[in-house]
Structure 1
Amino acid sequence: MTDEELFRKVKEIIHDNMEKASEDDSPAYHYTRPAPERYPYQFFWDTCFHVFILVSLGEIEMAKKHIQSLLGLQREDGFIGHMIYWDRLKPGRWADFFQSKFNYKNLYRSHMSSLIQPPLLAQAVSRIVKNSDNLNFLKEVLPNLKAYYDWLDKNRDFDGNGLLTIISPFESGMDWKPTYDVPLGFKEGKANTKLYYKVIWTDFLNFMNNYNLKKIYRKGHFLVKDAGLNTFYAQNLFCLGELCEMLEDPDAKEYYSRAKEVSKNIVEVLYDEQDAAFYDVYGKENIKIKVETPTIFYPLILSSIPKGIKTKVLERHFFSSEKFDTNYPIPSVAKDSSAFNPKESIYIWRGPTWIVNNWFLHQILEKNNYTESSQKLTRIIIQLIKKSGFREYYNPFTGEGYGAKDFTWAGLVLDMMNTKDKSIN
């Protein structure tokens, strides 16, 4: 497979997986399914990934339609759910039922979940704007963006330090991430049905509390500040400030200020100096969860993180340690973790390689002038796709493809192949 053939295959998958409303449908929708059979809905952060891919393909107008679709059911208070069920009577999986407030009307109309996902929306819009000829699209969507990030600030910053708290393992986008075993009270390492029901029970409790966030916080069943999600949040607040500046919107200062606050507290709350790692924390006491997953690296993308910390984290965990060293990096948890399982399983994010982690680590290496390492990572991912196709995730040792086929996220390799630094802040 040549680079040109890779480009054509990504374009083919994106278009084959696309879903759009008929002329009679209201509201209208236009989005890409990550995988038609397994993931038929419009997902929040998947849509943002699809925008990055579409822009890489030169499909700017299509990317705009994806964002407009994502904003189509946005509530007046700014909230956007992590899944949008367009033109569907009910969720496809029974467990998804508990991820939305109950409303009998949702049984026969398009609706959203009540959970969030990593807030990459501002970066997705920025990618479109910076590859467009005018600012009309930005003028159209900026009020929606501001409302969304204001909702996050008002409703998920429970501690008043700028950091967002997730209330379900599904909110980080990395379902079954081993760090969540700790707040869930799962101590067996290797995933099993006990873990499954603990996760479903968490969503059920949120459902029974009718997604009343004040009540959920007060009861404190599952409260996690995820290093990955909060890194995306900081990035996108900086990005939102930049977008506001483009339109001479005075709120730019407010979003820059919030971004700096989040970045500062990522270091103060999540960074462990002794271990040189950014850990997820849980509970109202912000207890560090000392499980090494790729998100220990994520904050290194932020310009405000001291250079000494960046060097220390990369040297100890990426360049010198064997914990993440595999033929096809980077595994979704360190190899010495009791949760590590490199093979196919319904309990994903517990060992296999995901291209999204490599996509983000590639940006980190590029931004911190590890160009040779970033290019090597890109070559490995291209080899992985050529070997096993466009799959959901892969065995980090053999490269065997697992999960959904024709999975769109693999298309992020096009963004990796464009080595221009696209990160904000």
Structure 2
Amino acid sequence: MIHEETRWNETGKPAWQPLLQYTLELHLCSVRPAAAPFRYDWEEIGPGYCYGPAFGHWDLVHAIFDMMPTHPDHAKKQFLNYLSFQGENGVLPGTIMMRDGKAKWNMELSHPPVWPVALDQYVKRYADNDLLQTGYNALLRQIGWFESERKAPFGYYYMDIMTRKWESGVDDGIRFDQAPHHPTACVDATSHVYQLYTYAAQWAQQLGSDPEPFVQRSKELKLAIQQQLYDEQTGFFYDSWTMAQSGPKPGAQEGMWPLAVGAATPQQANRVIDEHLLNPERFFTKHPLATVAVSDPAFELRMWRGPVWNSMTYWAAMGCMHYNRIDAALQLLEGALDASAEQFARTGTIWEFYHPHGEAPDSLTRKPYTSFNTPCRDYLGHNPLLAMASLWQHLKFQS
């Protein structure tokens, strides 16, 4: 296990330091010793998670972003732990739950496949070609799974629209209130698979394989996203069923994913940033970013229907960098870190999600129909705060 008490360096504003130091300490105390089915020490998504110890795909990626600079060996082991769960058909399960010392997971549902972004950063930082080859093999198998199990007429979907089982990670998201119960392109799933193909092309070239099939498919998907999932009138991206309907379109934050993966045109990206992400009447709340536009009638102070998840703000900020919008990335990161530090000073903990208007996180609701109806405390999975502060510092020097 990790034992060293590495002190977080003086990154970011002085007011952020207590939050960042606590974040690092929370990572260190969230590491559990290797035990079947984990080959290596594994990091849970936070000791305050209401359902107990868990090793989650989406959450794990954010932990890796945080730990990669200071604990590279630990970060690498988390990739290897997670990829070892890949099924024969290429599926990577969403969350591995620990119950009474035994691991349980669902091989029918996955989670957003964003792990290649973190693995690519790791390989570039540490020149680890062995890990690159391992990741490339897993990536090809996961693409095969999406092609066989989540293919829609011109894109891809998550099972949320079929079963409301929240494969997208956006539990109870407003997009799905009126979603059809048949395969049709989801803006997030299609964007995520586009990103898989871009990394497949890049890694194939690095490893001496032919990237052309992946290049062609990524071009096809990019064009489909730009032409079929973008609404010129509102300047935002939507799911295919929303594009086919008339009337008001839901202000769901997930429409920023084409920006986050670099699939939008520069003109589209700038409209998303200026008219939505930086617009106080849309998503730019005191603690950015609200998960539902504050002007949308469906906005409420309930999990994924209004509150802020710092991980999503981080992805939006990285998306801004695809289009050289350093100004926007800085505003998003600084606003989120300022607000998170303020709540840490008040409460002494890191919250699963936050109040968009900067009020007390425990005034929010989680899932009213369950026994866990407030945000979890000491929750790392959606809080890559160290990575956010490092990116802010890097961009601040560039601006």
Band of TM-score, shorter chain: 0.7 to 0.9
Once the two structures are TM-superposed, the CA of residue 175 in structure 1 deviates from its matched residue by: 0.8
1:66 aligns with 2:38: no
Of stretches 312-321 and 379-388 in structure 1, the one that deviates more from structure 2 is 312-321
1:418 aligned residue (387, 390, 394):
390
Once the two structures are TM-superposed, the CA of residue 224 in structure 1 deviates from its matched residue by: 5.1
Once the two structures are TM-superposed, the CA of residue 119 in structure 1 deviates from its matched residue by: 0.7
List per-residue Cα deviations over 1:10-64 (Å, max 9, x = no partner).
2211122223433xx35535432223342522222112222212214x2111111
* In 1, Cα distance between equivalents of 2:271 and 2:196: 25
* In 1, Cα distance between equivalents of 2:93 and 2:255: 26
SS at match of 1:175: coil
8 A Cα contact 1:328 1:399, kept in partner = no
8 A Cα contact 2:87 2:107, kept in partner = no
* In 2, Cα distance between equivalents of 1:26 and 1:395: 37
Alignment-derived partner of residue 227 in structure 2? 268
Of stretches 378-387 and 304-313 in structure 1, the one that deviates more from structure 2 is 304-313
2:121 aligned residue (121, 127, 137):
127
Alignment-derived partner of residue 373 in structure 1? 328
- The residue identity in structure 2 corresponding to 1:122 is P
Q: Map residues 308-323 of structure 1 onto 2, 5 A cutoff.
A: 308-319=267-278, 322-323=281-282
Alignment-derived partner of residue 144 in structure 1? 138
* In 1, Cα distance between equivalents of 2:19 and 2:358: 21
8 A Cα contact 1:394 1:401, kept in partner = yes
Q: 1:31 to 1:164 in 2, by over 3 A?
A: farther
* In 2, Cα distance between equivalents of 1:249 and 1:381: 41
Q: 1:232 to 1:241 in 2, by over 3 A?
A: same
1:51 aligned residue (41, 64, 68):
64
* In 2, Cα distance between equivalents of 1:363 and 1:299: 12
List per-residue Cα deviations over 1:157-182 (Å, max 9, x = no partner).
132x3x21112241111111111111
* In 1, Cα distance between equivalents of 2:105 and 2:328: 43
Alignment-derived partner of residue 115 in structure 1? 109
* In 1, Cα distance between equivalents of 2:142 and 2:55: 17
* In 2, Cα distance between equivalents of 1:223 and 1:287: 16
* In 1, Cα distance between equivalents of 2:305 and 2:182: 19
Q: Map residues 195-210 of structure 1 onto 2, 5 A cutoff.
A: none
Alignment-derived partner of residue 171 in structure 1? 167
- The residue identity in structure 1 corresponding to 2:285 is T
Q: 1:312 to 1:354 in 2, by over 3 A?
A: same
8 A Cα contact 2:259 2:269, kept in partner = yes
Alignment-derived partner of residue 156 in structure 1? 150
SS at match of 1:77: coil
Alignment-derived partner of residue 233 in structure 1? 193
8 A Cα contact 2:311 2:383, kept in partner = no
- The residue identity in structure 1 corresponding to 2:328 is S
List per-residue Cα deviations over 1:357-381 (Å, max 9, x = no partner).
2112212333333323322222222
Q: 1:318 to 1:147 in 2, by over 3 A?
A: closer
Alignment-derived partner of residue 279 in structure 1? 238
List per-residue Cα deviations over 1:337-396 (Å, max 9, x = no partner).
222113xx4xx1011111122112212333333323322222222222211131111111
* In 2, Cα distance between equivalents of 1:350 and 1:15: 31
* In 1, Cα distance between equivalents of 2:127 and 2:159: 40
8 A Cα contact 2:62 2:382, kept in partner = no
List per-residue Cα deviations over 1:287-330 (Å, max 9, x = no partner).
58820122222212454532222223333324456222422222
2:39 aligned residue (28, 48, 55):
28
Alignment-derived partner of residue 85 in structure 1? 97
1:245 aligned residue (195, 202, 205):
205
Q: 1:111 to 1:172 in 2, by over 3 A?
A: closer
Alignment-derived partner of residue 406 in structure 1? 378
TM-score by length of 1: 0.76
* In 2, Cα distance between equivalents of 1:148 and 1:67: 15
Once the two structures are TM-superposed, the CA of residue 70 in structure 1 deviates from its matched residue by: 1.1
8 A Cα contact 1:235 1:302, kept in partner = yes
- The residue identity in structure 1 corresponding to 2:46 is A
Structure 1, unmatched stretches of 5+, are 91-107, 184-219
TM-score by length of 2: 0.80
- The residue identity in structure 1 corresponding to 2:195 is Q
Alignment-derived partner of residue 17 in structure 1? 30
* In 1, Cα distance between equivalents of 2:105 and 2:288: 37
- The residue identity in structure 1 corresponding to 2:125 is N
Q: State the percentage of identical aligned residues.
A: 21
8 A Cα contact 1:55 1:131, kept in partner = no
* In 1, Cα distance between equivalents of 2:312 and 2:272: 16
Alignment-derived partner of residue 38 in structure 1? 50
* In 1, Cα distance between equivalents of 2:178 and 2:316: 25
Once the two structures are TM-superposed, the CA of residue 414 in structure 1 deviates from its matched residue by: 2.4
Aligned pair count reads 356
* In 1, Cα distance between equivalents of 2:44 and 2:332: 26
List per-residue Cα deviations over 1:99-138 (Å, max 9, x = no partner).
xxxxxxxxx7644342121111221221221121431222
Once the two structures are TM-superposed, the CA of residue 140 in structure 1 deviates from its matched residue by: 3.2
Q: 1:63 to 1:281 in 2, by over 3 A?
A: same
Once the two structures are TM-superposed, the CA of residue 286 in structure 1 deviates from its matched residue by: 5.8
